[in-house]
Structure 1
Amino acid sequence: MLHIRIVAVGKLKEKYLKEGLQEYIKRLGAYSRLEIMEVPDEKVPDKPSDTEAELIKRKEGDRLLAGAGEKDFIGVALDPRGEMWSTEDLAEQMRGWELYGPNLVVFFIGGTLGLSKEVHAACKAKWSLSRLTFPHQLVRLILLEQVYRGFKVNRGETYHR
């Protein structure tokens, strides 16, 4: 069984998002071991300098990587500059992860400024959910829905309704 860990910057506060996450956590229980870890975010000034922005991303990145835990994992950076995957592409990636391991896949969701270079370097894949910009809190829900859909596709179960 594939073990999925989502490590995200910031605490989820919105009730509707928490309820949506709980629904997909419940659904994914039949397919995967799932963990969601939140790491503290850094206060971001209105107009941070490049140096300030890099420092903030590095601090958050260190926390994200610590949240990955084990050393043997497949890292996936959620990044708007990443590769665009269709649902079927994600399902294919997931099949490969299940077959060829390691057993742990860690999805990294950065904060307001994105992910650090160190997080990118630790990841085997960089995935863009869309060309649209989403709040990083909403990305968690979109990610869980797509992972659930990927499991359904791989098992030949209907979900495209």
Structure 2
Amino acid sequence: MGQPAARLKLTEPNYIPVAAEEIPAVELAPGATLRAVSGSEGARVSSLTGVMLAMVELASGSSATLPAPAGRSVFFYTVRGAARIGPDEVPEHHLAQVGDGEGVEVSSDSGCLILYGHADPIGEPVVAHGPFVMNTREEILKALQDYQNGVFGDPAALG
């Protein structure tokens, strides 16, 4: 498992502009293309936590095995069209979490676009409230207080 994410809570935000044409395409199978954005060899974005994120496009009637190393949490979201994971359909605009394994068998009868990713399990408590994600309720309350006092986002002012 990777490093705990809690250590990165106050990391300086970073934006990396990447145009679609800058994302390399890899043909997984006939009619199946993967464009890795982060966490993969050749990806344009380096992930602080090792998250692999890609766009996968399947043509009508195509299928492929998506990479999913054992021990990682795997998900995909159908952006356009419907996909199948084995016998199960994932309709358009739905998120699917996939069990552990060495690959994900995916297919599409009419073609689809999938946001696909995998990452090490977080392995620590997660508490979310509005836009804030922390490890404890107390940290959430502190973040809300800091935001209301105008000091949120200033690492020197946060305690």
Same fold (TM > 0.5): no
Greater gyration radius: 2
Q: Normalising to structure 2: TM-score of the pair?
A: 0.29
Which structure is higher in helix share?
1
Q: Normalising to structure 1: TM-score of the pair?
A: 0.28
Higher relative contact order (CA 8 A, sep 6+): 1
